[in-house]
Amino acid sequence: MTKLIIATFLLSFDVLAFMPKSFEANFKQENISKRKRRSRRAAPKIIEGKVQYKFPGHIRFDVTSKDNKLTYVSNNKTTWYYTPAYTEKEQGQVTIQTAKANPLHLLFDVLKNGLKSNEFYNVKIDGEKAHLTFSKDFSSKLDIATAEITFKEKKEFSHIQKIDLSYSRGKVVSFQFGGIKENVGLSSDVFNFKIPKNTKQIHR
């Protein structure tokens, strides 16, 4: 019993040491393929919006770009991917699946281990950057090989400026963060998507 209490305390300490229990922030996402990185003329595709997260396994992305609006919501049970209709006469569309089938939330969950090597990733610090190389088992779940975290001033979660995710097939997804608010009160309603009327539902 004593060992269990100590282990629980240490886990809680690790979560608080780097990864907050919850956060929200503004973000810009840039997708860069291998081909685009080689071509200087190729204009990167950039979307922006708001991200909200609550440990464990709760995440929400609201993309508010003018030409690319969508909502991604996931909790420990269900994931929703919603695209609104372009006009009132058209239907929106939402894809619903189990959270296990699309475990994007795991990326933030494992960051509770902070900037030290662990069973999920190895860490190398280089100036204002932290390079994370994921284990084979974890990498296979998300198809992400490495992550590069760029900080502003301090190596604390609230000082994260950018996270670059490198996928096994060469694609790089870059997230720029701003206005990070830690340990915000996020109700369960935030992570349970309410499907609007006139929406086509796809269950997978």
- For the segment 167-184, what is each residue's pLDDT rounded down to a tens digit? 988 889 999 999 999 999
pLDDT digits (tens, 9 = 90+) for 9-25: 334 334 346 899 999 99
Average pLDDT, the chain: 86
**Per-residue pLDDT, 15:** 39
Query: Is residue 53 scored above 60 in pLDDT?
Result: yes
Query: Is residue 104 scored above 60 in pLDDT?
Result: yes
Query: Is residue 39 scored above 60 in pLDDT?
Result: no
Query: Is residue 142 scored above 80 in pLDDT?
Result: yes
Query: Is residue 7 scored above 70 in pLDDT?
Result: no
> 53 versus 87: which is more confidently predicted?
53
Query: Is residue 121 scored above 90 in pLDDT?
Result: yes
Domain extent listing, the chain: 2-63+103-182
Q: What percent of the chain has pLDDT over 70?
A: 85
Q: Which CATH architecture has domain 2-63+103-182?
A: Clam (2.50)
Contacts for 19 with CB less than 8 Å, ≥ 6 apart: 55, 108, 111, 112, 114, 157
